[in-house]
Amino acid sequence: MAFLELDHVSKRFGGHVAVEGFCLSVAKGEFISFLGPSGCGKTTTLQMIAGFLDPSGGAIRLDGRDLARVRPARRGLGIVFQSYALFPHLTAAENIAFGLEMRGVPRAEREARVRDALAMVGLAGYGERHPRRMSGGQQQRVALARALVIRPDVLLLDEPLSNLDAKLREDMQIELRQIQRNLGTTTVLVTHDQTEAMALSDRIVVMSKGRIEQIGTPHETYERPASAFVSHFLGKTNEFPAEVRPNGSGRVLVAGSCRWPAPAGPSGAVTITVRPEKVAFADGTADGLAARIANRIFQGNHWLFQCETECGAALVVRQNNGERQPAEGEAVRLVWRAEDMGLRRGGEA
């Protein structure tokens, strides 16, 4: 049974449709990410869950309770904003205790829960510091502790890591996921960062222009994108025009000089999609797609090759394992496994 449910939720601002037909069921303890570019409706959807915006249509239910007439403060939600929104004149401990005070929690219990919350986010001993004396990462932890100390039914995260530098953001992703797993708090994250969504989520809701493009696990959405938008938004991808042709009793998939048994699906003109890390250089055979190395870029733990092929441009990612790497201008052949391909009707977006 769904713990948090959005049933055909929509939001319009005058003639502008910000969210349309949003349907999602979230299990208790699940970590969900709303992922998409700016203006896709992900923050608007989060604000409707929080109660800051009223839906123009549809329903939002939490544990079977319709939230339509429930004020934000009564919804039992914890929220962490992009700006953290800490009170500068209060210490870390006082910031964390604020929600407990508003709920009338007795002082002794309040102090114990604040100590536990500080320890949970790795800030034991920092309770008397003010936000101005704390780093961005420490302020983010205080904001997270403040949201969790009230023991919310659902934790809402509005791009909380976007202000951190890359290394700290990666560290905080690991810590945030561990905290969420330990507590079992149902969590909804808004982000435009594909890596962040894939690192943290049980499922990802990919959005574009106010609509859901795909819902799936990180592996499903990356490996089997439902549309060209999802394929490109979740990372680099190669696309090759191809054709499915009859072949005796079966069918064959043809792209340039490459041929594979055609999977079930469309016939005629199609587009093959394959991620760059799935592509390899053929080893001393005539198999694969003929290509020439146009450019190669060393990126630390791997090489990125830009290739020209008879089917168009291609990217190849190859791990730097000490073997000789093809030189610029060198003729190669590109190969990949049939099971690593996606297949889309030709011209579909």
Per residue in 56-70, pLDDT (tens digit) is: 999 999 999 999 989
The CATH number linked to 275 is: 2.40.50.140
Are residues 11 and 154 part of one domain?
yes
Are residues 307 and 244 part of one domain?
yes
Which is nearest to 233 in space by CA: 192, 181, 294? 192
Convert the pLDDT of each residue in 75-127 to its tens digit: 999 999 888 789 999 999 999 999 999 899 999 999 999 999 999 998 999 99
- Answering whether pTM is above 0.95, one says no
**Is 346 a domain residue?**
no
Are residues 288 and 227 part of one domain?
no
Asked if pLDDT for residue 192 goes beyond 50, the answer is yes
Are residues 245 and 160 part of one domain?
no
pLDDT value at position 321? 67
Give the rounded percent of residues in the chain with a pLDDT score beyond 90.
65
Which is nearest to 189 in space by CA: 150, 160, 157, 225? 157
Give the pLDDT band (50/70/90) at residue 313: very high
Convert the pLDDT of each residue in 67-89 to its tens digit: 998 999 899 999 998 887 899 99
**Is 349 a domain residue?**
no
**Is 266 a domain residue?**
yes
Which is nearest to 207 in space by CA: 188, 226, 232, 230? 230
Contact 315, 305 (CB under 8 A): yes
Answer with the one of 233, 263, 290 that is the final residue of a domain.
233
- Name the residue range of residue 17's domain: 4-233
**Is 348 a domain residue?**
no
pLDDT value at position 327? 92
